[in-house]
Structure 1
Amino acid sequence: MRLNENTLLLGKKVVLVPYTAEHVPRYHEWMRSEELRRLTASEPLTLEQEHSMQRSWREDADKCTFIVLDAEKWQARPSTTEESCMAGDVNLFLTDLGDPSLGEIEVMIAEPGCRRRGFGTEAVLMMMSYGVTKLGLTKFEAKIGQGNEPSIRMFQKLHFEQVAVSSVFQEVTLRLTVNEHERQWLLEQTSHVEERCYGDGSPQSQ
């Protein structure tokens, strides 16, 4: 999605930046992990295929992707590279043609040292806020493997409710409808987030 190609979102624990070609080698290394592929229901790709996927995510209007960076490491730039700050990714898929207000959300914290530190929670909150305020979304779904209990619990803490279980795909579907009460709660949870122009670090005009 080109809408967010120049957008950087600065939170307390994480920074969200557009997925660029610079990030692909590290992402490719992550996806060599059999555990991560199982948790994300992903197929192994070559580096060339991963670059092609990155270009697709950048161009396709129905996919919004941010790379999740460790904010503490990112603040230490320029003594560290952006690639070395990478922690995972967070995605929105707008694939329900009958309901453009629905987005499927997924998050992956791939770096073991970044897990269980609240990175995934903040990344999801920031992405949901972006979806509500920039994309006009009012409903979110998360499809999670039945064995991924930490992820299921995280989404439940963010007010998602389980609506379906698929024994075929061995996954559960959780959903959140963003009514006015949920919208205000979400905006409060992300009131600290600063939007900047990706590349120069300057604040974006709203």
Structure 2
Amino acid sequence: MKINQNTVLQGKKVTLVPYTAAHVPRYHEWMQSEELQRLTASEPLSLEQEYEMQRSWRDDTDKCTFIVLDTAQWSGQEDEECMVGDVNLFLTDTEDPTLGEIEIMIAEPSYRGRGFGKEATLLMMSYGVRNLGITKFEAKIGQENEVSICMFKKLHFQEVAVNSVFQEVTLRLDVNDQERRWLLEQTNHVEEKSYTDLKQPAEVLET
């Protein structure tokens, strides 16, 4: 999505940066994992297909994605060395542009269970509410992924459907005034910055 192609959201544990071509090789490595393919219901892609997918994430109006970085490691290092996962919003309901389907993946096993997924999800939700006009979120999660289901329930999502064919649970959050205040309170520490400005010093050093 073009709107976030220069946006950085910096939190305490995680920093969200736009998904660029430089992130693709590491992302492609992650998605060779059969575990991640199963948890994300994804098919393995070739590296060239992964680059095409990255371009579509950047250009399509119904997709918004950020790469999740470790904030503590990111200072002074290249993004690729600090990548831990990604977080996505799908705006695919043409009849309801205020509905966003959210996905979170913490790909690096050593970062799971440490609050990185929770903060990344909160940052994306806050961004969706403030910048994209989202007032309803859905998350579709495999029934076996109890950790993710539990995390979303802690973020006030409620289970609304179970698809036994796809073995998938749908959770939903309607962002009323109370939920909006809570969400903005949870993310009031977040700094929004320009990705271009932050990347500039590294580019100057290289030339």
Q: Shorter-normalised TM-score: what interval? A: over 0.9
1:115 to partner: Cα distance? 1.0
Alignment of 1:95-174 (within 5 A): 95-174=92-171
CA deviations 1:2-41 (Å, max 9, x no partner) are 0000000000000000000000000000000000000000
**Which residue number corresponds to residue 34 of structure 2?**
34
State the secondary structure of the residue aligned to 2:148: helix
CA distance in 2, matches of 1:128, 1:5: 17
The residue type equivalent to 1:39 in the other structure is: L
List alignment gaps of at least 5 residues for structure 2. Answer: 200-207
What do the CA deviations read for 1:165-204 (whole angstroms, capped 9, x no partner)? Answer: 00011000000000000000000000000000002239xx
Number of the residue aligned with 1:180: 177
What's the CA shift string for 1:134-173, capped at 9, x where partnerless?
Answer: 0000000000000000000000000000000000110000
TM-score between the two structures when normalised by the length of structure 2 = 0.95
User: RMSD across aligned C-alpha pairs, in angstroms?
Assistant: 0.9
Report the number of matched residues.
199
CA distance in 1, matches of 2:27, 2:4: 19
1:113 CA drift (Å)? 1.4
- After TM superposition, the score normalised by the length of structure 1 is 0.95
1:116 shift after superposition: 1.0
Report 1:42-57 matches (<5 A): 42-57=42-57
- Of Structure 1 and Structure 2, the greater helix share is in 2
Q: Which runs of 4+ in 1 moved over 2 A?
A: none
What SS does the corresponding residue of 2:37 show, helix, strand or coil? helix
SS of aligned partner of 2:81 = helix
**Within 5 A, what are the aligned runs for 1:72-87?**
72-75=72-75, 77=76, 80-87=77-84
d(CA) in 2 for partners of 1:129 and 1:122? 10
Amino acid at match of 2:27: Y
Q: 2:6 aligns to what? A: 6
Structure 1 CA distance, aligned partners of 2:113 and 2:143?
19
